[in-house]
Amino acid sequence: MLKITGRYCAGESSISLVLEGRLAGPWVEELDMYWRRLSTSQQRTAVIDLAGVTFIDAAGKTLLDRLWREGATLRASGCMTRCIVEEITGKRDAD
């Protein structure tokens, strides 16, 4: 199961997507649909918070890579998610 919570920052016209649970199987498509519903300007200022994610499968990793390339900022705190974000962004600082 994956819970997606959108938190809007009115003053900055940005959105933070807080993910909790597993980014795997049908939940990858759920995040993709949520992302596609955002306007282009929101996508460019979106932060995807992965602190509550417990597992990411290959399809989830591929989706995160695409979202990052489309302008999302990926934030991770756990060992697994930090490693995946570092792989995607090529950075050592995943937070």
Name all domains of the chain by residue range, CATH numbers in brackets: 2-89 (3.30.750.24)
pLDDT of residue 4: 95
- pTM for the model: 0.87
Q: Are 60 and 92 in contact (CB under 8 A)?
A: no
What confidence tens digit (pLDDT) does each residue in 25-49 have? Answer: 999 999 999 999 887 767 778 999 9
DSSP for residue 77: -
- Tell whether the model's pLDDT for residue 92 goes beyond 60: no
Grade residue 83 by pLDDT with cuts at 50, 70 and 90. Answer: very high
Q: How far apart are CA 72 and CA 56, in angstroms?
A: 17
Average pLDDT, the chain: 89
What was the pLDDT predicted at 45?
82
Q: How far apart are CA 83 and CA 75, in angstroms?
A: 11
